[in-house]
Amino acid sequence: MIRVLLAEDESLIRGALVLLLKAEHGMEVVAETGEGRSVLPYALEHRPDVAVLDVNMPDMSGLDAAAQLREQLPDCRILLVTSLSQPGVIRRAMDLHVDGYLLKDAPPDEFTQAIRTVAQGGRVVDTTLLLNAWQSPENPLTSRETEVLQQAAAGYPVAEIAVSLRLSAGTVRNYLGNAVAKLGARTRQDAVRLAQEAGWLLPASP
């Protein structure tokens, strides 16, 4: 029996996927959630074989949840799903060594087969997503610049970013300035837009 944890913030999609997996022989949904921050606690409690994570959850991205699982529950296999083909996000997923990456519009049988494949130790990546990742430019931002720009994208002012990341306000401004320059942007807002379009930043939470 393949034990599955499902994290998807859109309740209609999550409900449909739960019904699909419950009808599938040899699979059991042991936990479901619409919040990225609930993934690790649920995984530690239920010990799933496979965690199916939506990339773009509002409170915590599937990538961040995957990173937590990799650190604290390395035996759990990870299948990311997304509705957006963002090369930068795909590259980040590859860096995390996730076991699968599919578009949400994949046929149901392809979705369930992907879960079986990763549960058995294989890897599954949508060919379109993989091609886009190969053809995309490298992210010019450092991890710290990306982190600061992500918080700016969420609407936090410099002072709050500084407190959150334990940096000085001047250092935060320097990171933001570096990001603007590296991306060839006119303003911070323009840098956020360019980075999001490339997939180097996840869309800001609504």
Answer with the residue of higher pLDDT: 26 or 97: 26
Q: At 80, is the pLDDT very low, low, confident or very high (cuts 50, 70, 90)?
A: very high
pLDDT for res 205:
45
Q: Which residues pair with 32 in a beta bridge?
A: 6
pLDDT for res 84:
66
Across the range 26-51, mean pLDDT stands at 96
Q: How far apart are CA 102 and CA 44, in angstroms?
A: 24
pLDDT for res 169:
92
Domains 2-135 and 143-198 share a fold: no
Q: How far apart are CA 59 and CA 62, in angstroms?
A: 10
pTM attached to this predicted model: 0.68
Query: Using an 8 Å Cβ cutoff, are 173 and 158 in contact?
Result: yes
The one-letter code for the residue type at 107 is: P
Across the range 11-16, mean pLDDT stands at 92
Classified as helix, coil or strand, 111 is: helix
List phi, psi (to 5°) of 122. Answer: -90, 180
The secondary structure element, H or E, covering residue 33 is: strand 27-33
- Show me where the domains of the chain are located: 2-135, 143-198
Tokens standing for residue 147: 């982190």
CA distances from 147 to 61, 153, 194, 202 (A): 13, 10, 15, 11
Compute the residue count for the chain.
Answer: 206
Phi-psi region of 170 (alpha: psi -120 to 50; beta: other; left: phi over 0): alpha
The CATH number given to 143-198 is: 1.10.10.10
User: Domain 2-135 adopts which CATH fold?
Assistant: Rossmann fold (3.40.50)
Q: How far apart are CA 24 and CA 112, in angstroms?
A: 8
Tokens standing for residue 200: 């180097």
Answer with the residue of higher pLDDT: 134 or 90: 90
Q: Which residues pair with 80 in a beta bridge?
A: 53, 101
pLDDT for res 133:
55
Classified as helix, coil or strand, 5 is: strand
At 106-157, the pLDDT tens digits run 899 999 999 999 999 999 987 666 655 555 567 788 889 988 998 998 889 9
Segments in the chain forming alpha helices (H): 11-22, 39-46, 62-72, 87-95, 108-119, 127-135, 143-153, 158-165, 169-182, 188-198
